[in-house]
A and B are shown apart, each in its own frame.
Chain A
Amino acid sequence: MFKKNLKKNNVFVTYAIVVVAYIVVEALLLTGNMSSLMQGLLVPLCTYSLCAVGLNLCVGYLGELSLGHAGFMCIGAFSSAFFSVVMQDAITNSIVRFIIALIIGTAFAALFGFLIAIPVLRLNGDYLAIVTLAFGEIIKNVVNVLYIGYDSTGWHISISSQQALGLAEDGTMVINGAQGITGTPHDSSFTIGVILIIIALIIVHNLTNSRTGRAVMSIRDNQIAAESVGINVKKYKLLAFTISAAIAGSAGVLYAHNLSTLTALPKNFGYNMSIMILVFVVLGGIGNFRGSVIAACILTLLPELLRGLSDYRMLIYAIVLIAMMLFNWAPAAIVWRQKLKAKFKKTGEEA
């Protein structure tokens, strides 16, 4: 299964799907055939696809379960939004500002990913998962009590309260504790999102097809064997985890620049979100990046398309999620699907 994914033509099919989807969407936008709801969903779809690709690198190729990727998203979002809000007047070109913000957000997420990976990767399995969850929650908790502002005397920072900053009358709050950052410029766009997805896909495909990628996969399949043939397990694990965190961070940048308000709530940057990203990865197929993008799109669109159901919306969503999981993963369902496929092929040949 994994080997098949690595074939070159398969990779290009993935790019082709993304490009075709982009062209179709742009065409619909130009002809005015797209509803406001769909237009508003374009950037979130890119955000979650990116996140899923990032996490899949960690789960699918490194073989380590991370429940803290929302934390990296949070770091990417806050560091980049901080930059954009402060530099909003200094850099007026939104593309330039966004690119710098993107670099900052991604770099910060990568840095934290690297620092967290050093202790975390000493653990295994579910213990590793729970420690990443813990880091994610710590990040969210700290961001929620972070107060940063500036006035004529310079920058002030506190982790207790707004008053502790001692801002002068002319001071401006940039990060205001639980109230987060408001007034982030809308620099994200669907085009940027799609470009980021393609870049992320190129990076992960190249990584997994390179010497490094094979080393990482050998670690996943059998760490002891990998060590015994002289692979520097630690180095490759760190590398893969850091890149994975960086991609999640870039998704955070996209998220932050799509909304004018940024707060670290349990809903958007808590473990719930980390788990949601994991759902995309598992539903789309572990180690299958194209699947991640598709699953992220389906599961982000689904609750919006169910809006007509009113109160039953989230209940139906849960049922559909369970059903899709059973359909995609249950051994019995897989056998049934193969039978069905064989039948179709047969009738197709006869006809």
Chain B
Amino acid sequence: MSFVLYLINGISLGSVYAIIALGYTMVYGIAKMLNFAHGDVIMIGSYVSFITFSQMGVNPIVSVVMSMVVCTLLGVVIERVAYKPLRKATSPLAVLITAIGVSYFLQNAALLIFGANPVSFTSVVTLSPLKLAGGDLVISGTTIVTIVLCLIIMGCLMIFIKKTKAGQAMLAVSEDKDAAQLMGINVNATIALTFAIGSGLAAIAGVLLCSAYPTLTPYTGSMPGIKAFTAAVFGGIGSIPGALIGGILLGVIEILGRAYISSQLSDAIVFAVLIVVLLVKPSGILGKPMREKV
């Protein structure tokens, strides 16, 4: 019985990782960059939602939408100011370092604006928990909403990429920027659009993260961010279903490792499993194998 419970808890935690990982994997797929600031965009989104929903009493849906708008704008601005000038830099590491700078900037700006004291986030999900097996198995409303939303977003994204012109443009840019440009695709606009979508998703992820684990501080985003990134790599970075699978697996491994092996070493266990998976499948579970060009 307790195994099933742990499994459910693992899926809850994993679903939050998965929804964060979606943002990472999208941006990585198109811009080929590890956006270290993604976790901090999540934090900003959570604060926007906290202020509008918990403090000003705005309708939860409206509050999430407002938070998405803010994050989308933020994502586009960050891309324009900090990443775009470096897109043609001689090393892809340059933009990675700038992303770290942006991450520091967002954390410290939030510290100045919102203060160091944590706040308690009210869950925007009012769905009552699902009780199974005579009340022994409880699945919280947040978990259900997170998983359902994760699936919906994943489906929408895949349809968007397959069926729309902008989506096809994204695919083309991710394959070959220069060739896409030659085909008349506006690469800059496509990348900006990717950041916009990724950051909008970050807002949803932030709200769900804080609904599940309600303490919010200026540093809330960084650790889930890095774990979600790990999840994205786990599932095969650049792959949208991979992010979901990677996220859920990471959550389940973390919880089961903590429950059955050692609660002190749960981080080490997660990372150890990651290493083993990558050694067996060097580009993640659903990742495309990298071709070596001669």
User: Which of A's residues lie within 8 Å of B, judged by CB?
Assistant: 59, 65, 119, 122-127, 130-131, 133-135, 137-138, 141-142, 144-145, 159-160, 223-225, 271, 275, 278-279, 282-283, 286, 311-312, 314-315, 317-319, 321-322, 325-326, 328-333
Q: Are B105 and A278 in contact (CB under 8 A)?
A: no
- Once the chains are docked, how many angstroms separate the CA of A95 from the CA of B229? 44
Say yes or no: A145-B101 contact (C-beta < 8 A), given A127-B284, A134-B271, A329-B86: no
Stretch at the interface among B124-132, B162-170, B272-280: B272-280
Q: Are B279 and A119 in contact (CB under 8 A)?
A: yes
Q: Are B98 and A326 in contact (CB under 8 A)?
A: yes
- Taken residue by residue from 49 to 72, chain B's Cβ proximity to chain A (1 for < 8 Å, 0 otherwise) reads as 000000000000000000000000
Determine the residue in chain A with the shortest Cβ distance to B91.
A286
- Once the chains are docked, how many angstroms separate the CA of A137 from the CA of B229? 14
Contacts of A329 in B (CB 8 A): 86, 89-91, 94
Determine the residue in chain B with the shortest Cβ distance to A116.
B275
Q: Are A135 and B98 in contact (CB under 8 A)?
A: no
Determine the residue in chain A with the shortest Cβ distance to B106.
A318
Q: Are B104 and A321 in contact (CB under 8 A)?
A: yes
Instruction: Name A126's contact: one of B237, B271, B292 (CB within 8 Å).
Output: B237
B188 nearest CB across to chain A (Å): 14
User: Which of B's residues lie within 8 Å of A, judged by CB?
Assistant: 28, 34, 36, 82, 85-86, 88-91, 93-94, 96-98, 100-102, 104-105, 108-109, 111-112, 226, 229-230, 233, 237, 262, 264-265, 267-268, 271-272, 274-275, 278-279, 282-284, 290, 292, 294
Contacts of A59 in B (CB 8 A): 93
Determine the residue in chain B with the shortest Cβ distance to A322.
B101
Q: Are B226 and A271 in contact (CB under 8 A)?
A: yes
Instruction: Output the residue of B34, B36, B278 with the most chain A CB within 10 A.
Output: B278
B218 nearest CB across to chain A (Å): 11
What are 17 A-B contacts with C-beta separation under 8 Å? A122-B282, A123-B279, A123-B282, A133-B230, A134-B275, A141-B264, A159-B264, A160-B264, A286-B91, A311-B112, A315-B109, A318-B104, A321-B101, A322-B82, A325-B86, A325-B101, A329-B90
Determine the residue in chain A with the shortest Cβ distance to B104.
A318
B216 nearest CB across to chain A (Å): 19
Contacts of A275 in B (CB 8 A): 36, 100
Instruction: Name B89's contact: one of A124, A144, A322, A331 (CB within 8 Å).
Output: A331
Q: Are A315 and B34 in contact (CB under 8 A)?
A: no
Contacts of A278 in B (CB 8 A): 93, 96-97
Say yes or no: A124-B290 contact (C-beta < 8 A), given A279-B100, A326-B98, A329-B94: yes
Determine the residue in chain A with the shortest Cβ distance to B271.
A134
- Once the chains are docked, how many angstroms separate the CA of A200 from the CA of B29? 38
Say yes or no: A322-B98 contact (C-beta < 8 A), given A138-B272, A142-B268: yes
Say yes or no: A145-B265 contact (C-beta < 8 A), given A127-B282, A312-B112: yes
Determine the residue in chain B with the shortest Cβ distance to A134.
B271
Instruction: Name B97's contact: one of A125, A133, A283 (CB within 8 Å).
Output: A283
A179 nearest CB across to chain B (Å): 14
Contacts of B89 in A (CB 8 A): 329-331
Q: Are B97 and A145 in contact (CB under 8 A)?
A: no
Determine the residue in chain A with the shortest Cβ distance to B234.
A130
Q: Are A138 and B97 in contact (CB under 8 A)?
A: no
Q: Are A134 and B230 in contact (CB under 8 A)?
A: yes
- Once the chains are docked, how many angstroms separate the CA of A124 from the CA of B233? 13
Contacts of B229 in A (CB 8 A): 130
Instruction: Output the residue of A59, A135, A142, A318 with the most chain B CB within 10 A.
Output: A318
Contacts of B105 in A (CB 8 A): 315, 318-319, 322
Q: Are A142 and B265 in contact (CB under 8 A)?
A: yes
Contacts of A330 in B (CB 8 A): 85-86, 89, 94
Contacts of B108 in A (CB 8 A): 314-315, 317-318
Instruction: Output the residue of A126, A137, A225 with the most chain B CB within 10 A.
Output: A126
B30 nearest CB across to chain A (Å): 14
- Once the chains are docked, how many angstroms separate the CA of A137 from the CA of B254? 14
- Once the chains are docked, how many angstroms separate the CA of A160 from the CA of B262? 9
Q: Are B278 and A130 in contact (CB under 8 A)?
A: yes
Q: Are A126 and B34 in contact (CB under 8 A)?
A: yes
B239 nearest CB across to chain A (Å): 13
- Once the chains are docked, how many angstroms separate the CA of A150 from the CA of B85? 57
Instruction: Name A141's contact: one of B90, B104, B268 (CB within 8 Å).
Output: B268
Say yes or no: A286-B86 contact (C-beta < 8 A), given A142-B265, A315-B108: no
Q: Are B271 and A135 in contact (CB under 8 A)?
A: yes
Instruction: Name B271's contact: one of A124, A125, A137 (CB within 8 Å).
Output: A137
Contacts of A135 in B (CB 8 A): 271, 275
Contacts of B97 in A (CB 8 A): 278-279, 282-283, 321, 325
Q: Are B271 and A138 in contact (CB under 8 A)?
A: yes
- Once the chains are docked, how many angstroms separate the CA of A121 from the CA of B97? 23
A73 nearest CB across to chain B (Å): 18
- Once the chains are docked, how many angstroms separate the CA of A134 from the CA of B279? 13
